Chains A and B, each alone.
Chain A
Amino acid sequence: MSSLVKNIVRFALVILVQVYVLDSIHLHQVVTPYLYFLFILWMPFKMNRTWQLVIALALGLTLDYFRHHPGFHAAACVLIAYLRPFLVNLFIPQEGAETNYEEPSVKSMGGIMPYFIFVAVLTFIHHGWLFLLQAWQFGNIWYFLGNTIFSTAISLVLIIITELLFVRKQKFRTNTI
C-alpha cells in the first residue's frame, strides 16, 4: 500500500474511532481518552512541514465538527504538528535515521525509551493546550490541571495498547537510491 493511501485510511479510522468509540466511553468527567492525534505522530518524516501543518489543521477541524464547536482540537493539532520535527531531531539516535525509515516508531527511533518520551511529550502538549483553551473559555484551573494529567495518562495507556496491537512494519531503506 502506498504511503498516501495508507495515510488516508488512517485519517478516516482515527476520526471514526475517536468519535464513535472513545467519545462514548464515560470513565469520569475529568478523564477524556484521546487517540486521534496518533495520526499526526505517525506522519512520515519526509513530508513538507507546511503540509504537515495543513493536514493537522484538517484533522483537528474534522474532529471539531463532530463535536460541534470548531477550533479547540484544530489548535492543539497544529501546535503538535509544528513541534514534532524539533522533537524528532532531538530524540532520533543517529544522523540520517529519518531517511532510512518512513515514519516514527519504536524501531526507527532506536528503542522504546526515545519513542515513548517523544509520544509522551507531544501527548502532554496536545492535552495541555487543548484543555487550556477550554479553561480559558470556561474558566476553572483545577479542572484544567486534573483534566490534563489524567487524560494524558489514559491516552498514553491507549497509545501503548495500540502500538502493541497494531505492529507497524518499518522497512529499513538505505539512502543509496
Chain B
Amino acid sequence: MRNIFLFIRRYFNLIFFLFLQGFCIYLIVTYSKYHHAAFSKTGLEVSGYFSKQYNEVEYFFHLKKTNEDLVKINERLLNAQRQNFMQPDTASIIADGPVTNDTLEIHRKWLYRWAKVVQQSTVNQSNYVILNRGTSQGVSQDMGVVDINNGVVGKIVEVSNNYAAVMSLLHKDSKVSARLFKSPEAVGTIVWDGKTPNIVQLTGISKSAKVVKGDSVVTTALTATYPPGYLIGVVDEVIAEKSTNNYLLKIKTTVNFYNVQMVMVIDNLQKKDIEELENKLKKKTL
C-alpha cells in the first residue's frame, strides 16, 4: 500500500497529464457524436457575447454591401406583389376543395425570423456560424438557416439563451437533401469533403440523369428543415465515379461563407404534426 502511494506521488505529473489527455479525447468523441456537450450552452453564451462585441465594430465595414443587398431584396419583393399582376375575372375562380383562403395564419407552414451573424469560420473541418438569436428570441434546434439571397447556410444545432450555433454546409457531418433544378427527378445529398470552402459535393445522382454544368442545385421537399426550392449552389464540375453508377458533382455554393452578415432563420410550424405522425407510426410497427 505504501508503495502505491509512493508511486502515485512520484509520477503524479505523468498520471495527471494522462488524465487530462483522456478528458480531452473524451470531449472530442462525445462532442462528435452528439453535437452538443453538456456544458457548452454556457460556452456558446460567453463566446457569443465576445463575438457580438467584436462584430459590432467589424460590421461597420460591411454596411455598404448589406445596403445593396437590401435594395435588391426590396426589388424582388416589390416585383412579387399581387398588384403587379392582372387580376383575372373574379367569377372565373374555381373553388378547389374546402381550404378557405382568408384564414392564412392557420395554414402557414414556414415562419421567417431575421438574425445577424456574429461569427463565422471557414478554416476548420467543422465550421459553425453563430447568430445573435437564441431561445429567448424564439429560435430552437433543427431550424433551417438561409441567407438573404435565398442561399442555404445550414441548420441550427445548438442554442443558448441569446445565441445559436448553425452547422454550416461546410461541416463534415452536414447532410442536405438536394436536387438538380433542370432534372427534378435527380435527387442526391449535399456533403462537404473538408477541403475547399465554398465548394461542396452532391452525391447520389445516377448516371442516367441529365447533368449540365451551370445547372442550379436546390433543396427538396424531402426535408422538414428547409422549404423546397431554396438555392444551394451551381454545378461547377461533373465527375463520373468509376466504381459506382453515380456522378460526383462539385457545387459552388450560393452563400459566400467567408462573409455572411444577415440571415433568415426558418421555422417549420408543422414540424410537430409530422413528428407526432412519425411517432404514431413507430408505435404501430412495434
Contact = CB atoms under 8 A, between A and B. Distances in A.
Interface of A: 16, 19-20, 23, 26, 29, 32, 49-50, 53, 57, 60, 65-72, 74-75, 78-79, 82, 133-134, 137-138, 140, 143
A71 B24 CA distance: 5
B16 A53 contact: yes
A137 B32 contact: yes
B28 A71 contact: yes
A79 B21 contact: yes
B13 interface: yes
B197 interface: yes
Contacts of A16: 50
Contact of B46 (A65, A78, A134): A65
11 contacts: A16-B50, A19-B50, A50-B13, A53-B13, A53-B16, A57-B23, A69-B28, A70-B37, A75-B24, A78-B17, A133-B25
Nearest to B157: A68
A164 B123 CA distance: 27
B13 A49 contact: yes
Main secondary structure of the interface of A (DSSP, over half): helix
B31 interface: yes
- Judged by DSSP, the binding face of B is helix
Nearest to B122: A26
A26 B24 contact: no
Interface stretch (B84-92, B124-132, B136-144, B210-218): B124-132
- A-B pairs, top 7 by smallest CB distance, nearest first, are A71-B28, A71-B27, A75-B24, A65-B43, A82-B17, A68-B128, A78-B20
Given A26-B258, A140-B194, A133 B128 contact: no
B47 A50 contact: no
A39 to B, nearest CB: 17
Contact of B47 (A60, A65, A78): A65
Nearest to A31: B123
Contacts of A66: 47, 50-51, 119
Contacts of A65: 40, 43-44, 46-47
Interface string B151-164: 00000001000000
A65 B47 CA distance: 7
Contacts of A67: 121, 124, 128
Interface in B1-54: 12-14, 16-17, 20-21, 23-29, 31-32, 37, 40, 43-44, 46-47, 50-51, 54
A68 B20 contact: no
B72 interface: no
A75 B121 contact: no
Given A57-B20, A78-B17, A138-B172, A50 B12 contact: yes
B118 to A, nearest CB: 11
B196 interface: yes
A79 B123 CA distance: 23
Interface string B174-213: 0000000000000000000011110000000000000000
A60 B172 CA distance: 22
Given A53-B16, A70-B37, A70-B43, A78 B158 contact: no
A69 B31 contact: yes
Contacts of B194: 138, 140, 143
Interface string B105-130: 00000000000000101111110101
B249 interface: no
A133 B32 CA distance: 12
Nearest to B46: A65
B165 interface: yes
A170 B46 CA distance: 35
B57 to A, nearest CB: 10
Given A50-B13, A75-B28, A140-B194, A69 B124 contact: yes
Given A67-B124, A68-B44, A68-B158, 19 more contacts: A26-B122, A29-B195, A49-B13, A53-B20, A57-B20, A60-B24, A65-B40, A65-B47, A68-B126, A69-B31, A69-B124, A71-B25, A71-B27, A74-B20, A75-B21, A133-B25, A133-B28, A140-B194, A143-B195
Contacts of B29: 71
A151 to B, nearest CB: 10
